[in-house]
Structure 1
Amino acid sequence: MNNSRRDFLKVGAAASAAVAASGTMTGAFAKEFAARTEKIPHASHYGPFHAHVRDGKIVDITPQLDSDANPTAMVKGLADRVMTDSRVKYPCVRKSYLEGKDAGDLRGKEEFVRVSWDKALDLAADAIKKAQAKGGNQSLYNSCYSGWAHPGAFKPNALAGRFFNQIGGAVGTSGEYSNGAAGPTNPVIVGDMEVYSIQTAHEQIIKNTKVMILWGADLYKCNRIGWFVPNHRNIDAYEEYKKAGIKFISIDPIYTTSASEFKADWIKIRPGSDVALMMAMMHYLYKSKKYDANFIKKYTHGFDKFLPYLLGKEDGIEKTPEWAEKLTEIPAATIKELATTMVDNRTFIAGNWSLQRAHHGEQVDWSIITLASMIGQIGLPGGGFGFSMHYAGGGDAASGKATVGGVPQGGGNKVNVNIPASRMSDLLLNPGKTVTFKGGKVTYPKIEVMLSAGSSPIGHQPDVNELVGAMRTLDTIITVDPWWTPTAKMSDIVFPATTTMERDDITQGMSYAQDRLFAMKKVVDARYESKDDYWIFAELAKRFGKEKKFTKNRTTMQWIERLYKRSYAKKKMKIAFEDFWKEGVVKYEVPDSARNFVRHEAFRKDPIKNPLKTESGKIQIFSEKFDAYGYDDFKGHATWFEPAEWLGNKKLAAKYPLHLVSPHPTYRVHSQLDNTWVQNVHKVQGREPIRISPNDAKKFGVRDGEIVEVYNDRGSVLAGVVVTNTIRDGVVAIEEGAWYSPDDASKDKTRCNSGQANLLTSSRPTSSMAQATTANTVLVSIKKAGVVQPNLAYSAPKIIEG
């Protein structure tokens, strides 16, 4: 057992105190602990919790057991969020920038200088005004579109948007990373994005489903976190799944946590070939006449225009199981058996999001929807498809009651330019370039100032080396963050923001269930010179004469109380704000009717009275709208396109013989918590693990526990080897989100010492239509790492006292 795991399992005084405070220990010890500490309610993406504070310091974190059915270890990691070496302690400015030198190429390479708040705020405001004078507001780029910073109402991205809207706006983001390809596609096909929609209730799955296809979906792992505050009741539901005798089939290059828990049959598909498998299944169902022709006729549009492609009359390639066997490495007999199993049983297809984060990712959900249409169980209890069973408690019955929302961004953005989420580097490097997007066009303006708050683009954007080069072309980069993230280290002006535990906020429980309101009470005083995001943006607005318009003369607590007044708790339950704030939580009842919810049931019962919001009111197997776009890489029906980079490309695979996938982290939300002790549970010698099969480990001469270099033409990273039978040959996995740490910051394109997978991923877009990320379309090789330097990812840069 390595030291990190041994330390994790130690039960010391703090752990014992946690048990006592959670109500599972009685006696004098518990009473003493309670008497000497203050118990303060708060909430996070990992669950609701109580912070136990003594003498102004957090001494323990314990879950709110009444609101969290199955707490995760990640909640414990929050104790490191306040006091850590990676905190931004005071306003800092990059040395050359402060001296007035034009030295963007030194970003990430030189030290910072400590300055006063007024100095930093004045410099930021002056940079923005200079950019406005030079290129108008379209020279300002608000890069902080993501709201994953925390679950509260005062999300940094919303506050940044509110600030920019007061001064005329900025270039923003269209779409997202999570579902950049499915987001623009699904609404046209089935009238809804589907990826954020309420799913068929667990109760209906338990009663009716006979077969569940986990098509890349890892329900256990991904539901450990939530956009709002998870209740983890899904774990209890999954135990009922097991008792119900549902047969699980996992189509995935990894034997996931969920596959293991459900004892699923494992179909070890070759990455990038899922659409080919779906096409072959549909071909078999059609030729064998096992498909539901009545459903196709009554509920879908354009099957007659898709069929010639499926039969090879359109492109000369018939999509037979034998054809797909060569692409997927799944035997044709298995493909036929899988299709037969799905039509002979009440089958639910649990799709995921990672498959659409690949070259031609738009085709995945479209193909699943088309396949599900041919099976004919859409709208039946326990049948059909769902793209959100792995997200935010998908399958939970919903309360249907109003929660609190967040601080609004307001109007005022006069800049009519929003770039696709994954096109950040393209935007910065290619001013004046025009790209296609959703049937239209976007022309990139010249960006002078970029602002990041509550997120780290160096982490979620692909091809980090390309992005770093792009960021060095800008006039000014401003970051607002509690920690020295990789993006903060690449900035010119850095503002130290408080953590949520150093301020008050409010939030809700779960995206779908919406069964709680939580007070996120201030736990400790702000550390160092950090300030709330709200205060920071209000101060910036003041320098433009917009402070009152930004704040509406409201304090944060006045905003919180105002948001609470919108809620069902206030309007219907008549619970006073003061009572809610004192208790820290309000519970909503979930109606029994919600446990009977079946997605698309109303459409199934009467497609005339309950049409889908599509061109035809039906499921668009063929879309005239999409066909009219005229793109070569996106057609009017679901299509198999060979990825540009995959193991089926023999020439490229000879150079880089391993397909890298980068799943969501087991112990983080993206990069969050990577600078906390809880990561020691799974890191290997302080680096992100790389999972590899025993056969491939032997082939490349690497051993479990050693550090290797993973590389391709775009970059290289260090990672710790984990040899496992839970990944197929030819595939390796590095979970996304490790903090980027250049091995030698003085050099360009140096390898990452920490294991940030996006040093290896490509900025190639999914297609001309969605322009989304293709992070899962990447080939690599590995080799011995040689001599390695300490990983400095979680250390502050050198700072000079101003």
Structure 2
Amino acid sequence: MSIPHSSHWGAFSAVAADGGVQVLPHPDDPDPSALLGNVAVAATPTARVLRPHVRRGWWEDGPGPDERRGRDEFLPVEWDELLDRVAAEYRRVLDAHGPRGVYAGSYGWASAGRFHHAQSQLHRFSHVLGGAVRSSWTYSHGVGEVLMPRVVGSQEPLISPTSWTSIEEHTDLVLAFGGLPAKNSEVASGGISRHEVAGRLRRARERGAEFVLVSPLRDDLAAELGAQWLDVVPGTDAALLLAMCHVLEAEGLHDAAFLRRCTAGSEEFLATLGEFTPEWAEGVTGVSAATVRDLARRAVRGRTMVTVSWSVARTRFGEQPLWAAVAFAAMIGQIGLPGGGFGHGYASTGGVGKRAGSYPLPTFPQFADPLRVRIPVARIADALLHPGREYDVDGRRETYPHLRLVHWAGGNPFHHHQDLSRLQRAFRAAETVVVHEPFWTATARHADVVFASTTTLEREDIGAARYDDRLIAMGRVHEPLGQARDDYDVLAGLSRRLDTGERFTEGRTGPEWVEHLWEEWRTGPAARAGITAPPYAEFLAAGEFVLPPEPTEKVMFASFRADPDTYPLRTPSGRVELHSPTIAGFGYDDCPGHPVWLAPEEVPDAEFPLHLVANNPATRLHSQLDHGATSQAGKVAGREPVRMHPADAAARGLRAGQVVVLRSRRGSCLGGLVVSDALRPGVVQMSTGAWFDPVAGAAAGVTCGHGNVNVLTRDVGSSRLAQACTGQHATVQVSAFEGDPPRVTVFDQPS
């Protein structure tokens, strides 16, 4: 029997088969994602945590910082015995240190379901206990989450920018900084039933829209769009944008009336542009001065959309290219026009640019957080290594709490975080690390307690996303493997032992909660929005519920543009702030009060002469199901592929298909070489998400033997404003690996 289900990369149906499942894409999806090919492996024992485990040192010697964490052996234990032990550890930490001693950040994309959302589950659990330290913002677009409210008064450019429909129908020129990569548009948080981005871009091109790709990687935009490719030096997007602003001001092409009416601080900003000439930019970016002038002039001839990918801002000083793009869009006077202005994250996921529903979706309630202590998500290693240290963020002076117990569910920080050797030291500084994991990822292997968690295929849930038009009845495809339990059942067991069980569960089982969430939504928000949704039993029988259509065209800041006094932005001035007195008042030398050029602190040199671009993978979502068929088919010599320009490969005597070593100032890893002219000379590209394998690395004399690129990247904040992730770039050297490469061990069961 075919059972409907959903994932962050697409809705599908699954049929249980001998030894696994067969996965079929949703019949209404015009362009299903190849990532569905990874799903079937989740139904097999490969790399699965089949019963709860503990690290021997923690089990026998008790909690405390431990250099054995990540190297110790694991012991299988019984559920009740382990739950008793973890509950006792919670009591110890809470009694001695209070909720500030517990970290329940739990950042992850484990399930597209509305109930089995691991972060919500863990937050509810911690809130009924009195709270815990949590994380703020995201690894993906932390810069935008902090900067955009300061500059345009909200996160609308991230959450609900001008729609794809408007771009498809009205835009003449798309300036794509960081590109519009189709691989990223295959994914959307909460699920995506129809993949439409590639088709919309194609139709815009057929109508006559032109595209300019600003990226060191040519395939950051589909070849069929015929884009002009500007293969910029990585990390120099802000320099190019400021030089284009210089051209507008110097040649009188800027929209002075729009700047007077709709911006604040334009005089201060314009006064800084004199030094950013096209000739200066040519030396920084590698883009000719003539091309810089041509781009600026073309932008004012028609309707222009300036889009900045999340990746462009995921760098040191990443605030600057994003703010400079806003400034350029303001100077050409197109903010608030159909198909014009700027956006942040188009094609970074499939949801950006889709109209969001105007009503809430079914949501597992988390209760209010009694503690309300946050750290920036990308600063977890700092917090664990330096408790009590002060740091700046978004105008505040904060102090890292002393985190004793780390509780993680639904995520893999050994994928998301940078400088994994440093993260290993940070995990070893904790007193207890508890994780919920279906698989033996590096996060599980660096924990003390590993709760064997079910996968989404083993659960019932409601799949829904604010950018999608249907809710999916996610049926249980197969029974849990081994002794795996739902996160909810694990947390309910802990809650009962900590005398908060009744408040956490409200007397409901997991399946009862799923039905309750549906009925509460059906009779509440849906009914108030005029939506007639069926009872839960009928929803299950149908397999999905299609929502009524929303208006397809949306123009960001259209009302503000029409009447900025009646519809002001939520900035201090009510306008787009090209100079922010608030940010200037913070006194941050790494993020002053207006867009500037701040040169990268790490640049190629004789020891590490190559730019590394560490982007999102095309064969999986983050690190999920790296052992799946699609992900494994993309490996080269059993490692994560690393791409290099033919000239750079020839200069090092390297050939396609061989195992190579990448080294940076932080660490080293093996990779499988791909030689390609689709990237700028002097640039190598390696995607994130290969499972960290220090065991195979030790055998090879490197940090990771499988190809986790984050052993190479820097663990430092974007600036004191956002303190966001900077894992997009590094400098490296690449050489041949001598001898027989070690076998990848990370998919094996641990000892």
Which residue matches 1:612?
A: 569
Q: Residue 377 in 1 paired to residue 329 in 2? A: no
- Whether the aligned pair in 1 keeps the contact of 2:158 and 2:352 (CA below 8 Å) is no
**In the alignment, what sits opposite 1:262?**
225
1:534 maps to which residue?
A: 488
Q: Secondary structure at the match of 2:175?
A: strand
Displacement of 1:393 in angstroms is 3.1
After superposition, give the CA deviation of every residue in 1:366-411 in whole Å (9 maximum; x if it has no partner).
1100011001111111111111321443565536353533212212
2:47 is equivalent to residue 86 of structure 1: yes
User: What is the CA distance between 1:326 and its match in structure 2?
Assistant: 1.0
Name 1:143's counterpart in structure 2.
105
Q: Percent identity?
A: 34
- Structure 2 CA distance for partners of 1:521 and 1:358, relative to 1, 3 Å: same
Q: Say whether 1:95 aligns with 2:72.
A: no
Give the match for residue 716 of structure 1.
668
The answer to whether the aligner puts 1:736 opposite 2:695 as a matched pair is: no
Q: Does 1:544 align with 2:505?
A: no
Q: 1:173 aligns with which of 131, 135, 157?
A: 135
CA contact (8 A) 1:186 1:192 kept: yes
Is 2:33 aligned against 1:72?
A: yes
Instruction: State the Cα distance separating 1:412 from its structure 2 match.
Output: 4.3
Contact 2:403 2:430 in 1 (8 A): yes
Pick the aligned partner of 1:585 from 539, 544, 553: 544
The answer to whether the aligner puts 1:682 opposite 2:634 as a matched pair is: yes
Selected match of 2:212 from 245, 249, 262: 249
Alignment of 1:289-304 (within 5 A): 289-304=252-267
1:465 equivalent in alignment to 2:421: yes
Task: Kindly report which structure 2 residues correspond to 1:306-705, keeping only aligned pairs within 5 A, or say none.
Answer: 306-311=269-274, 318-394=275-351, 398=355, 400-402=357-359, 404-414=361-371, 416-508=372-464, 510-512=465-467, 514-565=468-519, 566-567=521-522, 572-591=531-550, 594-647=551-604, 653-705=605-657
* Mapped partners of 1:413, 1:332: distance in 2: 56
Cα shift at 1:729: 0.6
Native 8 Å contact 1:399 1:590 kept in 2: no
Residue 200 of structure 1 contacts residue 395 of structure 1 at CA under 8 Å; is this kept in 2? no
Structure 1 residues 551-580: Cα deviation after superposition (integer angstroms, max 9, x where no partner): 111222222222223146666314222111
> What are the Cα deviations for residues 478-507 of structure 1, in whole angstroms up to 9, with x where unaligned?
110111110101111111011111111112
Contact 1:199 1:386 in 2 (8 A): yes
How far is 1:164 from its partner? 1.0
Match of 1:60 in 2: 22
Q: Does 1:109 align with 2:71?
A: yes
Q: Secondary structure at the match of 1:451?
A: strand
Which residue does the alignment assign to 1:28? none
1:150 Cα deviation from its structure 2 partner = 3.6
- Does the residue aligned with 1:729 lie in a helix, a strand or coil? coil
Distance, in Å, in 1 between the alignment partners of 2:17 and 2:671 is 39
* Structure 2: unaligned runs, 5 residues or longer: none
Q: TM-score, normalised by structure 2?
A: 0.96
- Match of 2:151, SS state, is helix
Residues 427-469 of structure 1 deviation map (CA, whole Å, 9 limit, x = unaligned):
1111110001111111112221111111111111110001101
Query: SS at 1:99's partner residue?
Result: helix
Question: 2:697–2:703: 8 Å Cα contact kept in structure 1?
Answer: no
* Conservation of the 8 A alpha-carbon contact between 1:139 and 1:446: yes
**In 1: Cα distance, 2:110 partner to 2:323 partner:** 27
**Distance in 1 between residues matched to 2:280 and 2:198, nearest whole Å:** 39
Deviation at 1:53, TM superposition (A): 2.1
Matches of 2:125 and 2:224, distance apart in 1: 47
On the 8 A contact 2:108/2:409 being kept in 1, the answer is no
Give the distance between the partners of 1:80 and 1:129, measured in 2 at CA: 38
Inter-partner Cα distance in structure 1 for 2:352 and 2:139: 23
After TM superposition, give the deviation of residue 187 of structure 1 in Å: 0.8
**Aligned-residue offset at 1:667:** 1.5
Which AA in structure 2 matches 1:559? W
SS of 1:675's equivalent? Answer: coil
Change (3 A) 1:59 1:179: closer
**1:616 offset after TM fit, Å?**
1.0
- The RMSD of aligned alpha carbons is 1.9
- Per-residue CA deviation, residues 93-130 of structure 1 (Å, 9 max, x unaligned), is 11122212667211121221110001111121122222
1:770 aligns with 2:726: no
SS in 1 for 2:552: helix
- Give, in angstroms, the shift of residue 422 of structure 1: 1.1
TM-score (norm 1): 0.90
Contact kept? 1:399, 1:588, Cα under 8 Å: no
Indicate if the aligned counterparts of 1:277 and 1:335 stay in contact, CA closer than 8 A: yes
Q: Report the Cα offset of residue 148 of structure 1.
A: 5.0
Instruction: State how far apart, in whole Å, the 2-side matches of 1:291 and 1:255 are.
Output: 30
Instruction: Name the residue aligned to 2:170.
Output: 208
By how many angstroms is 1:133 displaced?
2.9
CA distance in 2: counterparts of 1:235 and 1:748, whole angstroms: 41
CA distance in 1, matches of 2:311, 2:17: 43
Cα distance per residue 1:164-218 (max 9 Å; x no partner): 1111111111221111122111111011223432232333222221111111032
Q: Which amino acid in structure 1 is aligned with residue 470 of structure 2?
A: R
SS at match of 1:249: strand
